[in-house]
Amino acid sequence: MNLLNRETIQHIIDNSLNKDLFRGQFGLEKENVRVDHEGKLALTPHPKAFGSKTENPYIQTDFSESQIEMITPSFDSIEETYRFMEALQDIVSLELDGEYLWPSSNPPILPDEEEIPIAKMNDPVADEYRHELADKYGRKRQLLSGIHYNFSFDERFLRRLHETLGQGEAFKDFKDAIYFKIARNLLRYRWLLIYLTGASPVFDKTYINKCVSLGHSDDNKSYYFPNMNSLRNSVCGYRNEKPFYVSFDSTHDYVQDLNTLVQQGELLNAKEFYSPVRLKTAKGLNPVQELVEDGVAYLELRLIDLNPLHKIGISKDTMYFIHLFILFMLLKEDEPFGTEDQKMADLNHDQVITGGIEGILHDSRGALGSMKEMALACIREMQEMVRLLNPDGEDLIQILDGEMQKILHPELGFAYKIKSDIQKSTYMKYHLAKAKAYAEESEKSGYRFVGYEDLELSTQLLLKAAVKRGITFKLIDRDENFVLLTKGDHKEYVKQATKTSLDSYSTVLIMENKIVTKEVLKERGIRVPNGDAFRSQEEAFAAYEAYRDKAIVIKPKSTNFGLGITIFNRAFSKEDYQKAFEMAFKHDQTVLLEEFITGKEYRFLVMGDEIVGVLHRVPANVVGDGIHTIEQLVHEKNKNPLRGRGYKTPLEKIQLGETETMFLKNHNHLWSEIPSLGQVVYLRENSNISTGGDSLDFTDEIPESYKTLAIESAKAAGATFCGVDMMIDDITSEASDTNYSIIEINFNPAIHIHCYPYKGKNRKADEKILDLLFGEVED
Amino acid sequence: MNLLNRETIQHIIDNSLNKDLFRGQFGLEKENVRVDHEGKLALTPHPKAFGSKTENPYIQTDFSESQIEMITPSFDSIEETYRFMEALQDIVSLELDGEYLWPSSNPPILPDEEEIPIAKMNDPVADEYRHELADKYGRKRQLLSGIHYNFSFDERFLRRLHETLGQGEAFKDFKDAIYFKIARNLLRYRWLLIYLTGASPVFDKTYINKCVSLGHSDDNKSYYFPNMNSLRNSVCGYRNEKPFYVSFDSTHDYVQDLNTLVQQGELLNAKEFYSPVRLKTAKGLNPVQELVEDGVAYLELRLIDLNPLHKIGISKDTMYFIHLFILFMLLKEDEPFGTEDQKMADLNHDQVITGGIEGILHDSRGALGSMKEMALACIREMQEMVRLLNPDGEDLIQILDGEMQKILHPELGFAYKIKSDIQKSTYMKYHLAKAKAYAEESEKSGYRFVGYEDLELSTQLLLKAAVKRGITFKLIDRDENFVLLTKGDHKEYVKQATKTSLDSYSTVLIMENKIVTKEVLKERGIRVPNGDAFRSQEEAFAAYEAYRDKAIVIKPKSTNFGLGITIFNRAFSKEDYQKAFEMAFKHDQTVLLEEFITGKEYRFLVMGDEIVGVLHRVPANVVGDGIHTIEQLVHEKNKNPLRGRGYKTPLEKIQLGETETMFLKNHNHLWSEIPSLGQVVYLRENSNISTGGDSLDFTDEIPESYKTLAIESAKAAGATFCGVDMMIDDITSEASDTNYSIIEINFNPAIHIHCYPYKGKNRKADEKILDLLFGEVED
């Protein structure tokens, strides 16, 4: 069989368009029904955290209040699209309190029809439309969920194709013709897609009560139709009440047929034409008119089931396969697709759902031969297409090999696997177990934004929080963690999560400069380490008498990895004092002398008028259990998913390096030693998180008086976002005039440490930033 | 003679207090009468630019509206105090439009008594007080102007002296006793100070019409009293109507005597006690009560004449001498100072004014011997004091030598010199010439703040503008040009003149990042160089086709001295294109490709909603006159006081270096060549000011349409203060969509270039910053 148009392929090669052919814009939309811990449809409202159902572009509700719809923006690659959908699922999952995302296209255990909550949209038109649909199709049917796969070619590719292949027609017409050709072919060959992606073979009897039981002994609720791989795509799924045949020959004919159907009252509006493939416009407000004016912007494939075998309901391989299938539809020979052909395509569709791939393919000309043979031919031709056009396509060929296996061996298909797994369990238990496992995966990814792991953790968290409430973002300078957040007309430029428009430039400059910081704090009556700034050794030496009996620190104004710092804990000689200054002056023109401050250091995260979190860090350590060695305890502690390497996680793994070994030895410990139950063994002098230190949340333990001081410190500098580092003698006493000292105010405080501390609650600093920038999420 | 208390001196040496003894706080206050260009008292109001007469702490009016009072803060050194007064005089002079500061203590040509304008204070109490004084002393007498010299010891010195020398009394009492001792001695020995500093020997007959003419042939207006060196300190000067004898033995007695005089109605209030030496308190609101409660804060010496021989009315040497004289008064043996001694001190005072130093000194015990001998003994003892206590005091000894010469040779005295100079001219002409010469000096210093030349020029200008309108400043971090400006309760932290609270942090970050800047401008529809940012060579290479026939620039994202930049003016090969990227990627991870922009570059200084200035820079050049060689023309051009070396002036001197020589040669010129009249010869390729370029003000020439674009650009970034760099094809055409391009927005624009351009007006950018930070100067 020779399905490909060799001439077009040669043209693409001759014009070096093959690389651009494989470019495109990809987007996914999917629905998941929320369920409770028993797998029953959740009757709770759409979580408030997702903001407005109509304005959040990422997370919405579909027909039902319990049906969450997740929408990715369009991306240049499948990888990005896939990851963004995964991130969306992580974001949504984390917000579901005791609920889960049902991983199947078929609904969970349903209540009576009228108890299924229709989404409340606060918009009379939208609300009425949903009630009309409920009346027409039934609420249960509306709960069938699936994936929409959106695709458009790279604009440059289309333009250059138009330049070289067009025959004088306008670019819009040329482009529309291409998309309509693909749509026709997709509709014609969709039986193959359904065969390869169908993943909704089994259902609960609360959905349909008149089908065949799966026959498991103690399960009278898991049902199926024999051989059916996709209930959702079947006659029991979501379809127009009767088939409509609309011309796909051109934009003009398509629009005309649709308008006629609406005028005749067959359809409520053009949107109700539930074609498995839709030709979409850019704006999407008035699709029919926009199609005429602006043409097709992208294709929407609507027949993809949620695949419970994969976390987000679709695998990357399936996404690549669908992309190749679309390209194949472009490069295939064109065939007429009149009403009769459409009827036959519907027949093939239904046939593959109920009878698998063993039947005979038909079109208006009659029987075309074995479906299986045609399926295999298609895959082979797709492989040929890849070989001809994509020299780097080895991975794609392998993906196609996998699909070929599914044709040769039906037991490798998704639906088959799912059905046989359910046979060992129940419909409910199987899907609920999957739902919980995926929720746990999301939980573990809580601190990061899948697909954006190159950004700082603080920025990842901020962007996730933004997406959650429907604030869109654009990475303006990715290397710099510089983003534009937009909500309606409100734009905010944010760098590194906390550098925002809410802080003034002078505030930042104050915080950046130690001398100035101390000055503004002192002026407010806030305690800072006493001291002096010296600009010459002579000046510094002259001050010896004034400080000789005090505990002091001598340090260059700009400390750089602690170089040039000397601490005198007790009385010191003039010689040592002078030496310390000589050393410090090697690092800066100005040297600070400060009283040495005792106590423990706490980081107060100030946002607006609030202390969002208080953190104390302790050096890397393990706590004995009387059973394991220190080394074993370290390995155990390092299993915490919050611990990683290279600052990609909120905490770092404890090393078993030279420094730790030396430290243990100096403190008379050995790696092989077994500490007693509750015994704390430290492995480091320094408390940095980067060397395995623990971050301990003290937000609820710190007396209010210290929090007030931290807020006042921020106010003194005029700061909205800052980290106030305070030394406190003893947090069990209230702050007095002498028992604390502010040692620094940081203008770019990390927020992830307060969201994912080693011990303590997530203080939602990411949310707070957005509250301050955009106002709190409204009801 | 042995006047010094050797025991005290030894004590100071033994306790290593001698260095601290020489420390102290110094302040100057002085009045100058404003005159018109003919030397007549100016009858115009106090300039509005100085803001409120009562709230400006630096520049006020004294008795008369025409009498400007300048007040320095207190400084740790004479140098700083002197320079600040010079700066104040520069600031005031520059604001006087066609008027001058009369440089003598004696008034200029006066109108009739009642025409002398009394200062309008907008305060009924203050206004009435001035009218009472006018009635009591006459307006003319009030116009006598002078210098107040304020001094206090270093607090640490006093405390340590108290610790080691005190006899159980409270520190306040100890300190008061020290200042009262000095006050007594100063009053007793003031004859010597008057002899050495008197500088008001001649006056105009509009002041007193019954004295002796100086006898110059064509001058019947310059008068004097024979031998008188200080009219102001004389019986014709400003004194209480009759002498009051107040005890200076202790705070208690002093306060009691003063209160009695006020109660008896002899004085309007304690302030009316015009003692040549005053004991001042820190707050100065209710001096008598504060003296009792808080004690003496500093000494005020009120008998110093304005010395027309010096720009600010006093020389640094005189200031050092007065300081030494005060120290001498401390270390001298104490002597009783009862009413009889005070009378004799008054006698000595008057005697030295009218008779010079040839008379006999008296105290209550009778004649003490020759004034001259005593004077010489004092100087010798002061030298001895310096030798004993200040090993680095060689300069001070020399200053004392100078004073000794004035005792030995009366013709070296200030008054003598002034009188003999006036004899060659007239009173009016002599002083007016001085006034104009000093005004010209101030004019030349316009661009800098004397005493703060280490700061950036922009900051110097801003601080001068602040002082002018009475906004106080504090250098919080001098190295960083970080200042605190304060007016009442309103504080503003400012770094480098234009980094203020009025710009948000995100605004600055936007401007700092080229990619983001372009993004925000493009979003507003403002033209920026088209282009792309590439993060890999592969990506960049792939874009060749799209740019091959355009003029482009390839540059690393962070340009660093122009390294790694390639410009393609016309078509280029793929190889050259790739080489350019390879080079650029060596300097940054991200490389920008931008269209190459033609036209001339203009800097628009945006402040708030205004274009404050537009500047164009041209390379170092000279314009021929048909007479001089290029080399001579350079030397001539370099004489402009705005040109200096090392960025301390608004323009830099043109170099005659290798680069310039090469440039001339390449353009077929020689240093020795004589360009024709009007011929422009360039000496450099680059237009930087730092290499001798000229800054040309185009504010009035640039069409409004470009200004609007610059303001919109600033708004796009959200900036209050910024410099917008725009390429313009031709400023004689209005801006269109294609004839300009914004190439950068700078968040820290220099302001001095707009205040002191090579050609063009001072655009007062310094004033504008303050207007925006604090509101405009009120009427």
Of B503, B515, B535, nearest to A476 by CB-CB distance is B515
Tell if the CB–CB gap between A506 and B501 is shorter than 8 Å: yes
Residue B217: is its pLDDT beyond 50?
no
pLDDT for residue A477 is more than 70: yes
Confidence label for B451 from pLDDT (cuts 50, 70 and 90): very high
Contact yes or no for A482 and B516 at CB 8 A: yes
Q: Dihedrals φ, ψ of B101, to 5°?
A: -90, 115
A471 pLDDT more than 90: yes
What is the mean pLDDT of the segment spanning B686-698? Answer: 93
Task: Note the residue count of chain B.
Answer: 779
- Sorted by sequence, the CB contacts under 8 Å of residue B658 that are 6+ apart come out as none
Q: Find the helix or strand (DSSP H, E) in which A182 lies.
A: helix A171-197
Confidence tier at A562 by pLDDT (50, 70, 90): low
Predicted TM-score (pTM) of the model is: 0.87
Q: Which helix (H) or strand (E) holds B33?
A: strand B24-35
- pLDDT value of position B89: 97
Q: How confident is the model at residue B133 (pLDDT cuts 50, 70, 90)?
A: confident
**pLDDT, average across residues B293-312:** 96
For B306, B547, B554, B571, B686, the CA distances from B594, given in Å and listed in that order, are: 64, 10, 6, 14, 21
Q: What is the mean pLDDT of residues B143-149?
A: 95
A606-to-A512, A603, A711, A751, B755 alpha-carbon distances in Å? 16, 9, 6, 10, 41
Nearest to A499 among B480, B493, B509 (CB): B509
- Per-residue pLDDT, A530: 86
Residue with tokens 């406190």: A728
The pLDDT, as a whole number, for residue B91 is 97
What residues of B are in contact with residue A480 (Cβ under 8 Å)?
513
Task: Provide the pLDDT for residue B108.
Answer: 93
Name the pLDDT band for A664 (thresholds 50, 70, 90): very high
The per-residue pLDDT for B218 is 44
Nearest CB to B495: which of A493, A499, A509? Answer: A509
B490/A contact by beta carbon, under 8 A: no
| Other C-beta atoms lying within 10 Å of the C-beta of residue B354 | 15
pLDDT of residue A559: 64
Give chain B's end-to-end CA distance (angstroms, integer).
Answer: 60
Distance CA A642, CA A654 (A): 12
Q: Which residues pair with A369 in a beta bridge?
A: A361
Residues A694-737 pLDDT 10s: 999 999 999 999 999 999 999 999 999 999 999 999 999 999 99
What is the tens place of the pLDDT at every residue in A220-244?
566 777 778 898 998 888 888 788 9
| Phi/psi at A775 (5° precision) | 85, 155
For position B563, what pLDDT does the model report? 79
Residue B560 has pLDDT above 70, yes or no: no
pLDDT at B644: 92
Chain A, chain B: beta-carbon pairs less than 8 Å apart? 90
| CA–CA min distance A21, chain B (Å) | 15
What is the edge-to-edge ordering of all strands in the sheet holding A552-556?
A531-534, A591-595, A552-556, A566-568
How far is the C-alpha of A305 from the C-alpha of B207, rounded, in Å?
A: 107
Chain B residues within an 8 Å CB radius of A506: 492-495, 499-501
Looking at beta carbons, which residues of chain B come within 8 Å of A500? 504-506
Residue of A77, A491, A493, A589 to mutate when probing chain B, most B C-beta within 10 A:
A493
Contact call for B502 and A504, based on CB within 8 A:
yes
> Tell me, what DSSP letter sits at residue A527?
-
Q: What is the pLDDT of residue A621?
A: 96
From chain B residues 579-598, the ones with a CB under 8 A of any chain A CB are: 589-590
Inter-chain touch A505–B492, beta carbons under 8 Å? no
Query: Closest to A495 (Cβ–Cβ): which among B495, B502, B509?
Result: B509
Nearest CA to A254 among A321, A337, A328? A337
Each residue of B476-501: pLDDT tens digit? 999 899 999 999 999 999 999 999 99
Q: Is B647 on the interface with A (CB under 8 A)?
A: no
The pLDDT of residue A217:
38
Asked whether residue A1 carries a pLDDT value surpassing 70, the answer given is: no
Q: How many residues does chain A have?
A: 779
pLDDT at B472 over 70: yes
Q: B513 and A480: CB-CB below 8 Å?
A: yes
Torsion of CA A152, A155, A156, A158, to 10 degrees: 70
Nearest residue in A to B492, CA atom: A506
pLDDT of the residue at A521:
96
Token pair recorded at residue B308: 């027309």
Closest-CA residue of A relative to B516 is A476
In whole angstroms, give the CA distance from residue A477 to residue B25.
53
* pLDDT, tens digit (0-9, with 9 covering 90-100), for A22-80: 999 999 999 999 999 999 999 999 999 999 888 999 999 988 999 999 999 999 999 99
Residue B37 backbone dihedrals phi, psi, to 5 degrees: -70, -10
- pLDDT at residue B208 in the model: 76
Averaged pLDDT, A278-297: 92
Smallest CA-to-CA distance from B521 within B712, B703, B707 is with B712
A495 touching B (Cβ < 8 Å): yes
pLDDT value of position A53: 87
Per-residue confidence at B651, pLDDT binned at 50, 70, 90?
A: very high
- pLDDT over threshold 80, residue B220: no
Which of A484, A500, A520 faces B505 most closely, judged by CB atoms? Answer: A500
Q: What is the mean pLDDT of residues B619-642?
A: 96
pLDDT tens digit string along B665-680? Answer: 999 999 999 999 999 9
Give the Å distances, CA to CA, from B708 to B351, B611, B612, B714, B742.
72, 8, 12, 10, 12
End-to-end CA distance of chain A: 60
% of chain A surpassing 70 pLDDT: 97
Report how far residue B590's alpha carbon sits from residue B581's, in angstroms, rounded to the nearest whole number: 10
* Mean pLDDT computed over B563-592: 89
Nearest-CB residue to B500 (from A482, A505, A747): A505
Q: For residue B125, what are the CA distances in angstroms to B116, B117, B121, B265, B284?
A: 20, 17, 9, 18, 17
Mind listing the pLDDT tens digit for each residue in A164-196? 888 889 999 999 999 999 999 999 999 999 999
Neighbours of B169 (CB within 10 A): 12
Region B419-426: mean pLDDT is 90
Residues 496-535, chain B, touching A (beta carbon < 8 A): 499-510, 513, 515-516, 519-520, 535
Q: Do A509 and B479 touch (CB under 8 A)?
A: no
Nearest of A681, A587, A155, A506 to residue B505 by alpha carbon: A506
pLDDT for res A209: 61
Residues 6+ apart with CB under 8 A from B392: none
Q: Which amino acid is at A463?
A: L
- B36 versus B776: which is more confidently predicted? B36
- Which pLDDT belongs to residue B526? 96
Decide if A724 contacts A741 (C-beta within 8 A).
no
Alpha-carbon distance B283 to B269, whole Å?
Answer: 17
In this model, does residue A216 exceed pLDDT 50?
Answer: no
Strand B643-644 versus strand B651-652 pairing type = parallel
Model confidence over A85-98: pLDDT tens digits? 999 999 999 999 89
How many angstroms away from the CA of B755 is the closest CA of chain A? 24
Residue with tokens 């969709």, as numbered in its chain: A190
The string of pLDDT tens digits covering residues B75-101 is 999 999 999 999 999 999 999 989 999
Residue of B339 and A284 predicted with greater confidence: B339
Contact A770, A469 (CB under 8 A): yes
Question: What would the pLDDT profile of A518-550 be if each residue is shown by its tens digit?
Answer: 999 999 999 999 888 898 998 899 888 888 888
Reported as a single tens digit per residue, the pLDDT across B343-379 is 999 999 999 988 889 899 998 888 989 999 999 999 9
- Averaged confidence pLDDT in chain A: 92
* Cα of A494 to nearest chain B Cα, Å: 6
Coil/strand/helix, residue A558? coil
Task: Report yes or no: A749 and A603 within 8 Å, Cβ to Cβ.
Answer: yes
pLDDT of A210 above 70: no
Which has more confidence, B717 or B212? B717
What pLDDT is recorded for position A602? 96
Q: Helix, strand or coil for residue A475?
A: strand
* Residue whose token pair is 């105090």: B81
Contact check, Cβ <8 Å, A504/B504: yes
pLDDT-derived band of residue B569, with 50, 70 and 90 as boundaries?
Answer: confident
d(C-alpha A547, C-alpha A538), whole Å: 15
